[in-house]
Amino acid sequence: MAKAYVLIVHGTHDKSVSVKNAEHLHILNPNSELFLVEGADHTFGAKEPWTENRLPEHLKIITEKCIDFINKNMK
């Protein structure tokens, strides 16, 4: 059976969902990686509608992490 790799991303200043939830998901899935973004909120600095030309810094960090995670795990 193939392994399913999971990246769990969570902001440390998320007021909507506790970091403990992300930590619990990580414990339950041995093939997961927990990536906490220090200072990030629930939306990682983004908002709807997004009218800026650049990603918020926290969302940029997450985007780069996702690309690295995919490159590392999807062979």
Average of pLDDT values for 64-74? Answer: 94
- Residue 7: enclosing H or E segment and its boundaries? strand 6-11
* Per-residue model confidence (pLDDT) at position 74: 80
Residue 2 pLDDT: 59
**Residue partners of 74: CB distance under 8 A and separation at least 6:** 5
Q: How far is CA 33 from CA 21, 52, 64, 66, in A?
A: 14, 30, 15, 11
pLDDT in tens, 9-45: 999 999 999 999 999 999 999 899 999 999 999 999 9
Prediction pTM value: 0.88
